[in-house]
Structure 1
Amino acid sequence: MSQSENGINLFNGKNMDGWLARGGAPQHEWDAAGGVALNPDDPKRLATTTGDGIFYNGPTGRTADIYTAAAYGDCELHVEFLVSQGSNSGVYLMGRYEIQILDSWGETELSYGSCGGVYCRWIDNKPVDGVPPRGNASKPPGEWQTYDITFRAPKFDADGNKTANATFVKIVWNGQVVHEDVEVVGCTRGAMIEDEATTGPLMLQGDHGPVAYRNVFLKRLPPLRS
């Protein structure tokens, strides 16, 4: 990881140093690439070229979720992603709170499961909460997209009682504001950690379909004044 005015670069561009596989999986297919595009023979898959700067979830597009070895709390996150046709991934702040990634190109009925959605919680085998994006800013599959996320971790008092929920202060998707001041009262479905805390790793979903990432920058934010 390297530091710049944009924050910490969580991907070194060459290998998966600084990232771990969910569940302690000894093997995963995440790897670096120099270029990525839709496979011309099958747009539901990705084709890559050898090189550096991009990381993707392997030739099958279904492998372990990965998360950072370091933990973070309040932050600004910039992430660029690319999906194949019909594919699905997700960005989990603190390993607990998901912003959905999906091929939502042309989608008109938006839900929490659409790209840009704050994903639902899962209680008693049914979805609870979840917030759709304000609008569909999706680009076609095979094109790079961006999230710029401002996030505040939950807060706790000295006795461990939660005093403030996790909050997505702002989410900008491809230049369009799609969320402001969205509180998340608990961990969303698929979280790698079920209990809440003040810090946690950044997790990227790797088992739902082909996805590539680049330019993943995280800037820690100072605590809010009380």
Structure 2
Amino acid sequence: MFRSFAPAVVLGLALLPARAADPKPVEPFNQKDLKGWALKDEKKSKWEAYWYVMNPAKPTEPKKQSVTPTDRPYLVNTAAGGTDIYTDEKFGDIRLEIEFMVPEGSNSGVYLMGEYEVQVIDSYGKPDDKLTQSDLGALYRVAAPKTNASKKPGEWQKFVIDFRAPRFEGGKKVANAKFVKVVLNDVVLHENVEMKQQTPGGLTGKEAPTGPLKFQGDHGPVAFRNIKITPVIVKK
């Protein structure tokens, strides 16, 4: 005799635990304005959603680019003496993909969680054996890049950063933050570097389970585009 098992199968499927969806990437810059971002000192801010590119020979004198209806502005710190900018949203473990352009002699930084800096500076042409903890791609004051993967000032460059946040239990830190991998222009600069403490010049000067993405804006002009933050679920 033929028997239908469909109801039992449906019931069994209904009892299975739901599978969590993979985290969706976050693009914090809307390519229109600074909505979703906060400023450390609004009066000093030089940040703009900017329709210009910077002249690498004269970083304090931006020059206008030819724009078409499909172009979008970049997130730009237009001059030195400004202030830091950071996302309203906070993050923990992430993969950060970001393109940046730094003019000749300029200096900025990308701070994971607002506290752990990957240096952004014009280091083009510097020999590998002369690289320091202050050159492009350095984990500031912690680790110099393995090699100089810098492009010329005024050219777009790209970081891909896999980052693990510090761990806390009962309000006490039980594991350090870690740069799992830092890649600049397809060249690996760092792997599995622990951060025993926050970088000087961070947003709060304190470590926490989550924090915003911050860009340094008090040293010099810099431009960012194609910013993508993907939260990462770490398997235990």
The TM-score normalised by the length of structure 2 is: 0.83
**CA 1:78–1:19 in structure 2 vs 1: closer, same or farther (change >3 Å)?**
same
- Secondary structure of 1:135 counterpart: coil
Alignment-mate amino acid for residue 63 of structure 2: A
Looking at structure 1, the residues matched to 201 and 155 of structure 2 have their Cα atoms a distance apart, in angstroms, of 26
Cα displacement (A) at 1:82? 0.4
Residue 142 (structure 2) pairs with residue 142 (structure 1): no
The Cα RMSD (Å) is 1.9
Cα displacement (A) at 1:30? 1.0
Equivalent position of 1:38 in the other structure: 55
**CA 1:61–1:223 in structure 2 vs 1: closer, same or farther (change >3 Å)?**
same
Checking the alignment, whether the CA contact within 8 Å between 2:52 and 2:62 is kept in structure 1 is no
Residue 84 of structure 1, aligned match among 103, 107, 117: 103
Q: How many residues align?
A: 208
Q: Which moved more, 1:31-40 or 1:102-111?
A: 31-40
Equivalent position of 1:56 in the other structure: 76
Alignment-mate amino acid for residue 144 of structure 1: W
Equivalent position of 2:178 in the other structure: 167
Structure 2 matches for 1:72-111, cutoff 5 A?
A: 72-108=91-127, 109-111=130-132
Structure 2 matches for 1:1-226, cutoff 5 A?
A: 7-23=25-41, 25-26=42-43, 28-38=45-55, 42=58, 45-49=61-65, 52-58=72-78, 60-108=79-127, 109-120=130-141, 130-157=142-169, 159-225=170-236
Checking the alignment, whether the CA contact within 8 Å between 2:131 and 2:144 is kept in structure 1 is yes
The CA deviation string for residues 153-177 of structure 1, in whole angstroms up to 9 with x for no partner, is 00011x2221110000000100000
Cα displacement (A) at 1:189? 1.3
Checking the alignment, whether the CA contact within 8 Å between 1:6 and 1:217 is kept in structure 2 is no
Alignment-mate amino acid for residue 196 of structure 2: V
The TM-score normalised by the length of structure 1 is: 0.86
Equivalent position of 2:10 in the other structure: none
Cα displacement (A) at 1:6? 7.3
Looking at structure 2, the residues matched to 188 and 48 of structure 1 have their Cα atoms a distance apart, in angstroms, of 35
Checking the alignment, whether the CA contact within 8 Å between 2:24 and 2:231 is kept in structure 1 is no
* Structure showing greater Rg: 2
Greater fraction of residues in helix: 2
